[in-house]
């Protein structure tokens, strides 16, 4: 049975995502997550589906993307003013407005409104809302949005409106990658606005902007049966992602609003309310508009549930940038169905504006039903007890004013909170591999004073009562974390060496050094630069970094603490280094090893190296499909590099018996 249009479009989006990820890992990270055969097969499937549907999605691997750089964004007047919506916070008002009509209730998305124009099936123009009268032309940027079709089967003029948005998860990923707190984005809407209005479309492409259609303006010659719902379904059939909506009447409206309210806490797309739109197109248009608002739709803003409580104290939370953030801790209250006891105050200027002190009566709410905030301070006793020392390291603090905003900073360059990246490396997959300790969780634990050095991670049971009450944690999460640390405490010496974060020492170098010293850690700690430089692949810079690290008494003390809590797998010692000086590249599927990583470890155990891409330094390419015309095979042939099957490799190392 053949696929319908929706199934084909869904498959196209899946293929685009998979192929794009495969290309990224291959060209940017020098590793393969699928064989060339599989890539070509999926690419051909996508090409065929694009031909069948007439839709080509932005970012499709079948298209060559050329980024554009502009000196400024052109301006353009809209054909008709883009009006705001009238608003209410009461469901009763929505019901009265709806009367006996049927309508669509959808998310009111919190991003940047965009107008798209297609002609002859191609995207020809994208303009921001601007001031409602004049917008900015951002067509090159729109072509990089991750989910819009750049080609569609409808060949007439199509004009539609929608919201450009960035998801909370993508927003958090980008902000986590920015070390400077003053450079971080305040919210997804700000990030989206800046991303959409870039002069360099390559920057827009990196931000994962998506477009959610919410209104069809023009599509001549199409019968929509006088229904907004039919318009949405038609747009979906062309490959557009539309806002999520439900059909409602006055009787079902209250339950529908409640349904959206229950979803919002876990909804990944920023939303600041709902929109109610008459389904009957002619009826809605017949109502006309006021000077400010159209009459065919109305917005519903969440009525903030406000509770009064008592501020217990201000907790000061240190971050990797040295900034120490004030967090209000108050007597627990119920807000929007959950118990809340904490709210970020952000900086000292906001504290001073609220005249916030312990014991004050405050009102709190959840912004957009998600983020706890202080609404007001009823007693205003005044700011006091700003800490003179950092809660993490005990170093001196200072108040700095940046852009007229006063914040508290730790001045100690050795503060553990500033070393979050080193802890993140220590728990990473190729190091100790402690599942459940994300960078965000590490930052919370370090700020709370639970972690000062690596070994503290194996003693988090000392802080059980505090951890189980932390936001995002509970008894189950705590138990899982303790078990993960216990599992990770039995490890290998190369993993530990890599996890220490010695400058330039990756996992492969750590393995080579461990094998050279026969896994004798004491000998490794006392090694001099001359001996280290005798190891293949270890040069003067790495040798100096190694010696400098182990000459530091504090580093040795940290390692000694760790050794008291770690056990090590029995390493294969003194195995003949028959592959010393040889570099291998592995591609395609493997048969005699569990996976390519196991084959890589075998190569390394015999003194060889595994690389991600073929170059003049490559000694052998391992590919079971020796005769294929994959890009790596072609490159190897051009460079005169032998291509081995697994069986050839096993014969080389004298293990033919394993090939049976």
Q: How far apart are CA 261 and CA 274, in angstroms?
A: 10
Distance set, CA 358 to CA 200, 311, 313, 380 (Å): 48, 5, 5, 10
Q: How far apart are CA 632 and CA 638, in angstroms?
A: 10
Distance set, CA 440 to CA 56, 207, 417, 532 (Å): 37, 21, 12, 36
| Cβ count within 10 A of residue 559 | 20
Q: How far apart are CA 95 and CA 144, in angstroms?
A: 40
Residue 44: CA count within 13 A, CB half-sphere: 6
| Cβ pair 444, 500 in contact under 8 A | no
| Cβ pair 140, 68 in contact under 8 A | yes
Instruction: Using DSSP bridges, classify how beta strands 103-109 and 245-248 pair: parallel, antiparallel or unpaired.
Output: antiparallel
What SS3 class is residue 134? strand
**315-340: b or e for each residue (b if 16 or more CB lie within 10 Å)?**
ebbbbbbbbbbbebebeebebbeeeb
Q: Which residues pair with 311 in a beta bridge?
A: 330
Q: Measure the CA dihedral 314/317/318/320, to 10°.
A: -150
Exactly one of 108, 418, 419, 444 is catalytic; name it. 108
Write the burial class of residue 609 (CB in 10 Å: 0-12 exposed, 13-18 middle, 19+ buried): buried
**Pick from 123, 203, 210, 199: nearest CA to 163:** 210
| Cβ pair 471, 459 in contact under 8 A | no
Cα Rg for the chain, rounded, in angstroms? 30
**Pick from 627, 618, 620: nearest CA to 649:** 620
Residue 118: CA count within 13 A, CB half-sphere: 27
| Cβ pair 318, 445 in contact under 8 A | no
Q: Give 266-328 as a DSSP string.
A: G-SS-EEEEEEEESBHHHHHHT-B-SS-BSSEEEEPPPPP-EEEEEEEEEEEE-TTSEEEEEE
Q: How far apart are CA 11 and CA 167, in angstroms?
A: 22
- Residue found by looking up tokens 């019968």 in the block: 223
The pair of three-digit structure tokens given for residue 149, joined into one six-digit string:
């079709």
Q: How far apart are CA 236 and CA 230, in angstroms?
A: 10
**392-429: b or e for each residue (b if 16 or more CB lie within 10 Å)?**
bbebebeeeeeeeeebbbbebeebbbbbbeebbbbbbe
Is position 108 annotated as part of the catalytic site? yes
Instruction: Using DSSP bridges, classify how beta strands 567-568 and 490-491 pair: parallel, antiparallel or unpaired.
Output: parallel
Q: How far apart are CA 641 and CA 218, in angstroms?
A: 59
Q: How far apart are CA 588 and CA 37, in angstroms?
A: 8
Residues marked as catalytic: 108
């Amino acid at each position: 049975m053949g696929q319908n249009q929706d199934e084909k479009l869904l498959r196209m989006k899946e293929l685009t995502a998979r192929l794009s990820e495969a290309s990224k890992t291959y060209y940017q990270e020098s590793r393969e997550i699928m064989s060339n055969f599989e890539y070509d097969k999926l690419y051909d499937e996508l090409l065929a589906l694009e031909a069948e549907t007439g839709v080509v999605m932005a970012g499709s691997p079948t298209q060559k993307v050329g980024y554009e750089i502009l000196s400024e964004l052109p301006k353009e007047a809209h054909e008709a003013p883009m009006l705001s919506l009238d608003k209410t916070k009461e469901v009763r008002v929505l019901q009265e407005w709806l009367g006996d009509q049927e309508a669509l209730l959808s998310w009111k998305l919190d991003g940047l409104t965009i107008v798209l124009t297609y002609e002859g099936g191609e995207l020809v123009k994208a303009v921001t809302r601007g001031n409602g009268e004049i917008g900015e032309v951002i067509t090159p940027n729109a072509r990089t949005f991750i989910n819009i079709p750049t080609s569609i089967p409808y060949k007439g003029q199509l004009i539609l409106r929608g919201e450009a948005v960035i998801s909370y998860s993508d927003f958090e990923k980008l902000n986590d990658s920015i070390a400077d707190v003053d450079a971080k984005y305040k919210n997804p809407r700000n990030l989206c606005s800046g991303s959409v209005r870039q002069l360099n479309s390559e920057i827009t492409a990196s931000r994962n902007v998506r477009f959610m259609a919410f209104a069809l303006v023009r599509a001549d010659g199409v019968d929509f049966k006088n229904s907004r719902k039919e318009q949405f379904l038609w747009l979906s059939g062309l490959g557009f992602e539309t806002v999520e909506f439900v059909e409602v009447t006055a009787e079902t409206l209250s339950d529908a609003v409640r349904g959206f309210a229950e979803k919002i806490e876990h909804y990944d797309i920023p939303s600041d309310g709902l929109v109610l739109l008459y389904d009957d197109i002619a009826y809605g248009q017949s109502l006309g508009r006021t000077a400010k608002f159209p009459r065919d739709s109305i917005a519903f803003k969440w009525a903030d549930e406000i509770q009064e409580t008592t501020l217990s104290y201000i907790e000061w939370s240190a971050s990797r940038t040295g900034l120490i953030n004030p967090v209000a801790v108050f007597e627990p209250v119920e807000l929007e169905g959950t118990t809340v006891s904490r709210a970020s105050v952000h900086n000292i200027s906001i504290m001073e504006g609220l005249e916030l002190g312990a014991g004050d009566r405050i009102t709190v709410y959840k912004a957009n039903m998600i983020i706890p905030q202080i609404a007001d301070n009823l007693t205003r006793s005044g700011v006091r007890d700003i800490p003179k020392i950092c809660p993490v390291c005990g170093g001196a603090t200072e108040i700095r004013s940046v852009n007229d905003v006063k914040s508290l900073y730790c001045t100690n360059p050795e503060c553990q909170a500033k070393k979050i990246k080193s802890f993140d490396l220590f728990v990473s997959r190729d190091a100790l591999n402690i599942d459940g300790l994300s960078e965000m969780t590490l930052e919370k634990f370090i700020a709370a004073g639970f972690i000062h050095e690596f070994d503290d991670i194996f003693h988090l049971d000392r802080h059980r009562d505090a951890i189980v009450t932390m936001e995002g944690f509970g008894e189950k999460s705590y138990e899982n974390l303790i078990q993960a640390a216990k599992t990770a405490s039995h490890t290998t010496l190369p993993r530990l060496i890599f996890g220490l974060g010695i400058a330039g020492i990756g996992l492969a170098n750590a393995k080579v050094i461990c094998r050279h010293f026969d896994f004798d850690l004491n000998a490794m700690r006392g090694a001099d630069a001359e001996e280290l430089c005798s190891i293949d692949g270890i040069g003067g810079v790495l040798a100096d970094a190694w010696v400098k690290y182990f000459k530091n008494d504090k580093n040795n003390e940290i390692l000694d603490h760790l050794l008291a809590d770690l056990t090590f797998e029995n390493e294969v010692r003194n195995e003949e280094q028959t592959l010393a000086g040889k570099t291998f590249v592995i591609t395609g599927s493997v048969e005699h090893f569990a996976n390519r990583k196991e084959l890589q470890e075998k190569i390394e155990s015999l003194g060889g190296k595994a690389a991600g891409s073929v170059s003049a330094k490559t000694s052998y390419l391992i590919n079971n499909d020796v005769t294929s015309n994959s890009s790596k095979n072609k490159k190897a042939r051009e460079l005169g590099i032998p291509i081995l099957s697994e069986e050839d490799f096993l014969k080389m190392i004298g293990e033919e018996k394993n090939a049976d």
